[in-house]
Amino acid sequence: MTTKKPTAAQAKKAAKEFQQTYTAIRDEVCKAMVGQEPVIEGVLTALLAGGHVLLEGVPGLGKTLLVRSLGEAVDLEFSRIQFTPDMMPADIIGTQVLVERKGGGHEVRFQQGPLVANLVLADEINRATPKTQSALLEAMQEQQISVGTDRIDLDPPYCVMATQNPVEQEGTYPLPEAQLDRFLFKLVVGYPEEHEYHEILGRTVGADDVTLEAVSSGKQIMAMRKVARQVPVPEHVQGYAVHLVMGTQPGSPYAPGTVNANVALGSSPRGAQGLMLAGKVKALLAGRFAVSSDDVKAAALDVLRHRVMVNFQGQSEGITPDDIVKAVVQHVKPPVEAEATA
């Protein structure tokens, strides 16, 4: 049995379809969502790269609307979990319930929780206890849920989009590093521009409801993920991604002084994986067939900001993880550029 190798023409066609589908989904989401283009692109990139997203922003900026719109546009099963401090893992995973049989008698049956879906919005995830938060770990990483001796495989594509409020920290449980590391992106949702306010009011306060159509499907998303994985990465670009990740680790040869002084924990290899995956999607969206250093650089802030833990000294100086990542990106040059200017 011989398998026919894909040709360059097929690759070009797949890349073109990738771009078209992406544009269609984005346009559909933008019908409901006003502004926030970088956040929409980030969420879509994470979905196509096969990662999860942590959205951070104050209430009322449309985080929930964005995720729900995405679910409608892609025709994915969407569920929303509002995390509270008294929530238990069983509340999100599911639990065994006693049900009556048709023929008489009772039986214990597993009633799945809201975590079993394609697109899960974990609203205010930092309000849940660590016990409940950790219930997400297996689902996010392994895309399966273990309940007793049973195992439930989650249907692909599976994407968790969690939100957290950066302001109200009273009575919250900051996500542990192990869980933060499982998010591909951490996107910061900001306030809309002035002209966007008028658009938001026009769309939401009027009599007309915005209805979204499914322009894609879960199967198509999985195909796009497969295409994205095929994008090759030149050696020097991969080296640049590795240098960036090492640059966040205090004591490494690529770390700038601010990292050595103010960082307690740098990025793990998952950060490099995230840079590569995000770079591949960005390269395809830019109409290229190989990842460039610019793609890696563009994804660096979203991929690395939640993987860097600022130490006590840095916190007292008011240094944020964003400052650290920006300093690393500025300090670590792509190998080609560094050699040319050496």
Partner 1 sequence: MSDLPRTDAAGLRARLDALADRGRAHIEGARRRRGLAAAVKRLLPMLLVVPVLVFGIQVTQMLHGTARWDVNGWVVLGVMGLFAAAWMLGEHLLFDRAAPSRRAALGLFDTEGRFADRLNAADAFLDEPAPGAFMQAAIEDAEAFVQQANTVRLPAQAATFPPASDVLRYVGAALLLCLFVGLVGEPTTAGLATVDEGAITADADGARDSGAPPPPNDPVRDPTPKAADPETERPRDGSSDAKEMKRAPAELDEDAKKTEGRTSAGQASDAESTSGANDARGAPTNQGPSAKSGKKKKPKATKKPLDKKPAEAKKQEPKQMDADPSGSTSGRGSSKGSNKNPVKTDWKSKDQVDPDEEDEIEDDEEVEDEESESEARGGMQPNLRDRKPPVSRDLTIGFGNQPSPDANGRGGPSEQKKSRGTASLVLGVPIPDRVKGQPNPGKTKVTQERVEPRRETAKPVAAGARTPRSTPIGRVAEPSFAPWMRDLIRSYFLTLRSKAPTKRSP
Return residues touching partner 1 (CB under 8 A): 5-12, 15, 167-169, 230-232, 234-237, 255-257, 260-261, 286, 288-295, 312-313, 315-317, 334-337, 339-342
Closest CB 338 distance from partner 1, rounded Å: 8
Nearer to partner 1, 217 or 252 (CB): 252
The least distance separating partner 1 from the CB of residue 97, rounded to whole angstroms, comes to: 42
Residue in 307, 296, 279 with CA at minimum distance from that of residue 46: 279
For partner 1, which is the closer residue by CB, 60 or 105?
A: 60
Q: Strands 159-164, 78-82: parallel, antiparallel or unpaired by DSSP?
A: unpaired
Q: In angstroms, give the least distance from the CB of 5 to partner 1.
A: 7
Among residues 203 and 236, whose Cβ is nearest to partner 1? 236
User: In this structure, are residues 259 and 200 in contact, taking their beta carbons and an 8 Å threshold?
Assistant: no
CA 337, distance to chain mean position in Å, is 30
Identify the bridge partners of residue 108 per DSSP, sorted by sequence position: 98
96 neighbors 148 (Cβ within 8 angstroms): yes
* Shortest distance, position 222 Cβ to partner 1, whole Å: 18
Q: Given its phi and psi angles, is residue 135 left (phi above 0), alpha (psi -120 to 50 degrees) or beta?
A: alpha
Q: Closest distance between partner 1 and the C-beta of residue 292, in Å?
A: 4
Closer residue to partner 1, CB minimum distance, 110 or 254: 254
Q: Quote the CA–CA distance of 212 and 195 in Å, as a whole number.
A: 23
Residue number with CB closer to partner 1 (237 or 299): 237
**Which helix or strand (DSSP H or E) is residue 340 part of?**
helix 335-340
Contact between 67 and 39 under an 8 Å Cβ cutoff? The reply is: no
- Burial of 167 by CB count in 10 Å (0-12 exposed, 13-18 middle, 19+ buried)? exposed
- Taking the complex as a whole, the smallest distance from the CB of residue 303 to partner 1 amounts, in Å, to 19
Q: At which residue do the structure tokens 């997400």 appear? A: 136
Q: Which is nearer to partner 1, 261 or 264 (CB)?
A: 261
